Amino acid sequence: MAGRKGKKKTGSLWSFLAFIAVIALWAVPAIGPGVIAVLSAFVVLYGLFQAPTWCCAPTRKNEFCRNNASGILLGCHIRQHKWQKLKMAFKEQAPAKALRRMLGNVNGVAASLSAVAGTVSASAATVTLLAK
């Protein structure tokens, strides 16, 4: 039983370790921007679709769901919540509301910051790659 918990914990931390590696790779001039762009893209995808966060989909009582979810864009085990969170990303005022809910806990903040920083890093690496 202890082996599974340790494996799951390591699996949930690999993106944050990759994020630290991306930051470290920017300081190494021998590493090309292509490698940094690919690693940054993995960090972004993990933050959007796999990082452990709360669901935060609206419930019938106009509160937010506190079930565990995978990623910023996906909901919990309830099928309707998966679609609600995806719809919230594209509605007019829903992204701001979803962002406030997501930043209410440490996991959401870590996933959001790594996704944003990964996006900036991937963009900068792509521009550097195209400029050469």
Q: From CA 72, how far away is CA 61, in angstroms rounded? A: 22
Hey, is 54 helix, strand or coil? strand
**pLDDT value, residue 94:** 62
The yes-or-no verdict on residue 99 having pLDDT over 70 is: no
Lowest mean pLDDT, pick from 10-24, 76-90, 91-105: 91-105
**pLDDT value, residue 10:** 53
End-to-end CA distance of the chain: 51
**pLDDT value, residue 1:** 47
Give me the half-sphere count of Cα atoms (radius 13 Å) on the Cβ side of residue 92.
0
Q: How confident is the model at residue 8 (pLDDT cuts 50, 70, 90)?
A: low
**pLDDT value, residue 128:** 85
Tokens representing 79? 């099928």
